[in-house]
Homo-oligomer: A and B are copies of this chain.
Amino acid sequence: MNQLEQIRAQQTRVLLIESDPTTRDMLQQWLTEDSALVLSAGNGQHGIALLTSFQPDVVVCDMRLPDRLGLEVLEIAQRVCPDSRVIMTSAVSDTVMVVQSLRLGAADYLFKPFKQPVMLLHAVRRAASDARLMLENRRYREMLEEKNRELNESLRVLREDQEAGRAVQLKIMPPPQKSYGAIDINFRIKPSLYLSGDFVDHFTISKNQVGFYLADVSGHGASSAFVTILLKTMTNRLRKRYEDVSRRVLLPAEILERANEEMLSMGLGKHLSVFCGLIDFEAGQLVYSSAAHYPPPRLFMANHVHVLEDHGLPVGLFQNPGYQNRTVPLAGHFELWACSDGALEVLDGASLALKEQKLVEIMEQANHNVDNFLSLLGITEQASVPDDIAVLLVSGQC
Interface residues of A (CB under 8 A from B): 93-95, 98-99, 101-103, 106, 108-109, 137, 140-141, 144-145, 147-148, 151-152, 154-155, 157-159, 161-162, 164-165, 167-169, 171-172, 193, 195, 219-223, 225-226, 229-230, 232-234, 236-237, 240, 262, 265-270
The answer to whether residues A164 and B223 also contact, given A95-B93, A148-B151, A233-B234 and a CB cut-off of 8 A, is yes
Contact pick for A172, options B93, B99, B144, B268, CB 8 Å? B268
The residue in A140, A148, A234, A240 that gathers the most chain B C-beta atoms within 10 A of its C-beta is A148
In the bound complex, what is the Cα–Cα distance between A172 and B140 (angstroms)?
45
- Write the nearest CB–CB distance from A225 to chain B, whole angstroms: 7
> When chains A and B are docked, how far (Å) is the Cα of A171 from the Cα of B266?
9
Structural contact, A108 and B102, CB atoms closer than 8 A: yes
Q: Which residues of chain B come closer than 8 Å to A94, judged between CB atoms?
A: 95
Measured CA separation A193–B155 after assembly (Å): 12
B-chain residues with CB within 8 Å of residue A164 when the two chains form the complex: 219, 221-223
A171 touching B267, Cβ below 8 Å = yes
Q: A101-B102, A148-B144, A164-B221 are in contact. Are A267 and B95 (CB under 8 A)?
A: no
Could you say which of B101, B106, B141, B233 contacts A266, with CB atoms under 8 Å apart?
A: B233
CA distance A236 to B147 in the complex (A): 45
Distance in angstroms between the alpha carbons of A193 and B223 in the assembled complex: 15
The residue in chain B whose Cβ has the minimal distance to the Cβ of A169 is B226
Is the CB–CB distance between B236 and A165 below 8 Å? no
How many copies of the polypeptide does the oligomer hold? 2
Tell me which of A151, A219, A226, A270 has the highest count of chain B C-beta atoms within 10 A of its own C-beta. A226
User: Chain B residues near A193 (CB, 8 Å)?
Assistant: 157-158, 161
Given known contacts A168-B223, A222-B165, A268-B168, is B109 in contact with A99 (CB within 8 Å)? yes
The distance in angstroms between the C-alpha atoms of A219 and B168, with both chains bound, is: 12
Contact of A161 among B157, B221, B265, B269 (CB under 8 A): B221
A-B contact pairs, 12 of them (CB 8 A): A95-B95, A103-B108, A151-B155, A158-B162, A161-B222, A165-B221, A165-B225, A165-B226, A168-B270, A172-B266, A222-B225, A226-B226
Report the nearest B residue to A141, measured CB to CB: B141
A141 cross-chain contacts in B, Cβ below 8 A? 137, 140-141, 144
Shortest C-beta distance, A264 to chain B (Å), equals 11
Which listed residue (B103, B147, B221) contacts A148, Cβ 8 A? Answer: B147
Given contacts A98-B102, A193-B157, A233-B234, contact A171 B269 (CB under 8 A): yes
Could you say which residues of chain B place their CB within 8 Å of the CB of A233?
230, 233-234, 262, 266
Residue on B with the closest CB to A102? Answer: B102
User: Closest CB-CB distance, A126 to chain B, in whole Å?
Assistant: 8
| Complex CA distance for A172 and B99, rounded to whole angstroms | 77
List 7 additional A-B contacts (Cβ < 8 Å) besides A161-B193, A165-B223, A237-B237.
Answer: A147-B148, A161-B220, A164-B221, A164-B222, A165-B226, A168-B269, A232-B266
- Bound state CA distance, A148 and B148, in angstroms? 6
Among B98, B222, B223, B230, contact of A95 (Cβ-Cβ < 8 Å) = B98
Chain B residues near A95: list those with CB within 8 A. Answer: 93-95, 98
